[in-house]
Chains A and B, each alone.
Chain A
């Protein structure tokens, strides 16, 4: 997704772009995600600014591509079971509002109007109309197509080529060299490996997540609905398993259920305890789901950087190398803003946001 968005905005800035991937389109974390474009789970700060910029750009793209990428501005509803949780949620939302997020409190007796099948007895919630969803694989494929960039799938980058002055001059792949004065690292969870090929340190780590998919249903879950503790899990540094229920209906009918987070490397084995916890959380929020069947489950590896912020922008250690990776679980949502920022710095324009918090060399500094 990140590469597709960089390709789109770079092409529109007048650059000649080649997209290289060792797999097919959306073969990494993109194809294993839910396609969330969220502002609701982000605290005020650089990531929220990037999310708001991205949301505006997604809205523009929806005019061109909306139906084909299943763009759906359905809104997010965050609920709290207990009054204490609701109080904390309301404080969090007040801060977001000050930063430009639209958020409205929902009293316990109003939850029913937004989500008639929600479990009774919840303390209340906050509604975020800006939260949106796209089908991520379709989004990536259609953005690449709309960019007009040359697509070189099934090609693995084996080396970042550098000139005598140390500047990047392209990449070597298992099927020949591609020459370019700028290389954008949009390798997601594998972005650390690509950076290493260029001799740069970027500590991207995988954070595993599962998604459960139900049989197709008539629309009963109208928004993206999640419990307030999800925000704390997203921001956590723990390696241990965390699950918090995130439930949403999709345009195609199935209900998607997340979200689990655990740092177990690239372990692809299916974990019944994780899936059990997801199912339990979802049926707690929506009791009718107990009778609904899970059809399948998939897993993916979020690209995680130690401070939960992505790496965006030029790498001063390697002239010509740019990074656009490490967005953890928010990569689809943050892709448009990231793509535009990368296009701006590639073409010498001033970036729309201050890139200092995202500078890729920040971890090397800490290590030293």
Chain B
């Protein structure tokens, strides 16, 4: 039997799993590389086994499609066509003459290097991350991201607090509020900045996905059942507390997206779950040299990036939720299977997924217009509000870099103020800095998708990875080049 062509799929969320199953079913050997201990990604985040959750499905919808993916993955692992690398934190994908090398770090401290070598193709299913815009008090303990609150619910089964306010904008807020209420928290308010009239205006486009609307209506009904007060076209203007969060002040917005005078009110709470939508993870794509449009990886109808041999699917190519990610992942896996085997792909084979993709992209584009942070959110950021938490850079410092020192873009603001130079490399504060500087959000170039020890970098991709750069053997620091063939030779 001839050797199956090898593809590395990065990310085991909905997109990566769908891609893996499609690619393996249609003739590829897949190395599925993921940072989590279990497959599922953020969407199908699994409770840690030790917690003994009896009914994890109570926290998830689409449990059945998850079970199908999980069973498919197990089946392909058993036949040896898929090799699943868990707890692998990818920091760089390198293009080499013999194929792609995926560089990852392993272990609790992310210090042990692992390389997946000579992949004919790479499929990026790196997902997205939450966008949070700053406001006075947002750094107080007790303020968490909406996604973080959901991850705690899904993964750790712990309640983040007793009295919660859920705030910001976006489709994530409803399930977070409903999940918190169902888990026993008192949700004092759901504060959504979007204007309900903008949904009414866009109703024809939204009604094209009745299932999605029904899903939203279902959450809304649960919120009513739990007596959660919903404040639409409102925003949190400040979080209060001495050592930790004690209350928030919310206010109504006017038609221009400014806070309306005399509408402020205080709501006591010990937890604020706040989120302003999602952003694609594009670091690895930019590192390979893929084109990125705005903040999302550019792909064609087959989910191919503009770099030969590199596909992308799911949130990395634009935020659109798990069902869209499944469709894109499936198409990417099918296209890669055909092209890496030297065959012409047959789009008729994935016509169903392509139809769902088109419809969902339209739906989410509309949703994205409707769910927007208040147009003038930056006005609420006082000069002493910390905007970059890693480097403790305030709103006033950023404003002065623009007005006094000639900065006009995020990069120059960063160089002049250190905003975005810290541990998170601007992933948290990037959108806020862009907003304060009055320039568009763009995807920042970060060559390393995560920090990498210099000792690892010094040996990365070498043919003699065990050797010390000086030539002296160094048994402490061996790079572990994964020979995937050993594990999947049973074909």
Q: Inside 8 A of A137's CB, which chain B residues have their CB? A: 412, 415-416
Contact of A283 with B416 in the complex, beta carbons under 8 Å = no
Q: Let me know if B451 is at the binding interface, CB within 8 A.
A: yes
Contact of A144 with B457 in the complex, beta carbons under 8 Å = no
Given known contacts A276-B460, A280-B458, A284-B469, A26 and B447 CB-to-CB distance under 8 angstroms: no
Q: Inside 8 A of B453's CB, which chain A residues have their CB? A: 290-294
Whole-angstrom distance between the alpha carbons of A141 and B457 in the complex? 34
- Of B94, B409, B448, B470, most A-chain CB atoms within 10 Å: B448
Q: Let me know if A164 is at the binding interface, CB within 8 A.
A: no
Whole-angstrom distance between the alpha carbons of A1 and B412 in the complex? 14
The 8 Å CB contact of B457, one of A142, A269, A279, is: A279
Chain A, 270-320, CB within 8 A of any chain B CB: 270, 272-273, 275-276, 279-280, 282-284, 289-297
Whole-angstrom distance between the alpha carbons of A254 and B391 in the complex? 12
Contact of A31 with B459 in the complex, beta carbons under 8 Å = no
Q: How many A-B residue pairs have CB under 8 A?
A: 114
Whole-angstrom distance between the alpha carbons of A296 and B469 in the complex? 21
Whole-angstrom distance between the alpha carbons of A101 and B240 in the complex? 58
Q: Inside 8 A of A291's CB, which chain B residues have their CB? A: 453-455
Q: Let me know if B63 is at the binding interface, CB within 8 A.
A: no
Contact of A144 with B406 in the complex, beta carbons under 8 Å = yes
Q: Let me know if A166 is at the binding interface, CB within 8 A.
A: no
Q: Inside 8 A of B446's CB, which chain A residues have their CB? A: 296
Q: Let me know if A199 is at the binding interface, CB within 8 A.
A: no
Contact of B448 with A295 in the complex, beta carbons under 8 Å = yes
- Of A24, A144, A216, A252, most B-chain CB atoms within 10 Å: A24
Contact of A295 with B451 in the complex, beta carbons under 8 Å = yes
Chain A, 348-364, CB within 8 A of any chain B CB: none
Size bracket, chain B contacts: 35 or more
Whole-angstrom distance between the alpha carbons of A144 and B404 in the complex? 10
Q: Inside 8 A of A284's CB, which chain B residues have their CB? A: 469-470
Interface 1/0 per residue, B404-439 and A, CB below 8 Å: 111111011001101001110100000000000000
Whole-angstrom distance between the alpha carbons of A239 and B184 in the complex? 67
Q: Across the two chains, which residue of chain A brings its CB closest to B289?
A: A269
Contact of A290 with B415 in the complex, beta carbons under 8 Å = no
Q: Let me know if A234 is at the binding interface, CB within 8 A.
A: no
Chain A, 114-160, CB within 8 A of any chain B CB: 135, 137-138, 141-142, 144-145, 151, 153-154
B446 vs chain A, min Cβ distance (A): 6
Q: Let me know if A181 is at the binding interface, CB within 8 A.
A: no
Contact of A296 with B447 in the complex, beta carbons under 8 Å = yes
B277 vs chain A, min Cβ distance (A): 25
Q: Let me know if B452 is at the binding interface, CB within 8 A.
A: yes
Q: Let me know if B333 is at the binding interface, CB within 8 A.
A: no
Q: Let me know if A25 is at the binding interface, CB within 8 A.
A: yes
What are 16 A-to-B residue pairs whose CB atoms are below 8 Å?
A: A24-B407, A24-B408, A24-B412, A25-B407, A26-B415, A27-B411, A138-B415, A144-B406, A270-B287, A273-B461, A289-B455, A290-B477, A292-B454, A294-B452, A295-B421, A296-B448
Residues of B whose CB lies within 8 Å of any CB of A are: 92, 94, 287, 289, 401, 404-409, 411-412, 415-416, 418, 421-423, 425, 446-448, 451-455, 457-462, 469-470, 477
Identify 6 new A-B residue pairs, CB closer than 8 A, beyond the known A269-B289, A292-B454: A27-B409, A31-B412, A137-B415, A145-B404, A212-B457, A290-B454
